[in-house]
Structure 1
Amino acid sequence: MKENAKKLGWGFLALLACPCHLVLILPLLAGTTLGAFFTAHQTTASVILGIVFVISILMIFNRVKQAKTDAKHDCCSVPQRK
């Protein structure tokens, strides 16, 4: 359950940090300090959000790959006899 929550969290962060969504996020932040910062430093914000986006996508793929290898090893394990 905890691993699913982590994957969901990284996916949500990837969705918010996607640079193509910056155009949609800016109007929602209008009138706020964060919105003013993003408007004044749009290039810097795009680069930072792009880096966060790439890291979050890599973390999602890493967790999915790890879950597949764990599942693959679970089916092949033989119970030990006492």
Structure 2
Amino acid sequence: MKENAKTWGWGFLALLSCPCHLVLILPLLVGTTLGQFFSDHQTSASVILAVIFMISILMMFKRSNKQAKKDTVHDCCSVPGRKRGE
């Protein structure tokens, strides 16, 4: 359950930090210090958000892949036609 919440958290961070969403986020930040920084330094803000976006996407897929591997059961002894100890 905790791993699933972390995966969703990384996905939400990826959604918020996507550089293409900067156009939608800026009007929400009008009048704040963060909004002023983004409007003054759009290029550097886009680069920073792109890096955060890539890290969060990688972590989201890493966690979901780890969870998928944990859910599968591998039993080497149950393969038909295979002797024990091979």
TM-score class, shorter = 0.7 to 0.9
What is the Cα-based RMSD across aligned positions, in Å? 1.5
Whole-angstrom CA distance in 2 between matches of 1:76 and 1:17: 41
Pairwise CA distance, 1:31: 0.8
Residue 30 of structure 2: SS of its match in structure 1? coil
- Residue matched to 1:76: 75
Amino acid corresponding to residue 61 of structure 2 in structure 1 = F
- Residue matched to 1:7: 7
Pairwise CA distance, 1:68: 1.5
Q: How does 1:44-55 map to 2 (within 5 A)?
A: 44-55=44-55
Deviation per CA, 1:20-79, whole angstroms, max 9, x where unpaired? 00000000001111100000011000000000000000001111111111122x36388x
CA 1:35 to 1:76, structure 2 compared with 1: closer, same or farther past 3 Å? Answer: same
TM-score (norm 2): 0.83
TM-score (norm 1): 0.87
- Give the fraction of aligned pairs with identical amino acids, expressed as a percent: 64
- Residue matched to 1:64: 64
1:25 aligned onto 2:42: no
Whole-angstrom CA distance in 2 between matches of 1:77 and 1:61: 27
Q: Between Structure 1 and Structure 2, whose CA radius of gyration is higher? A: 2
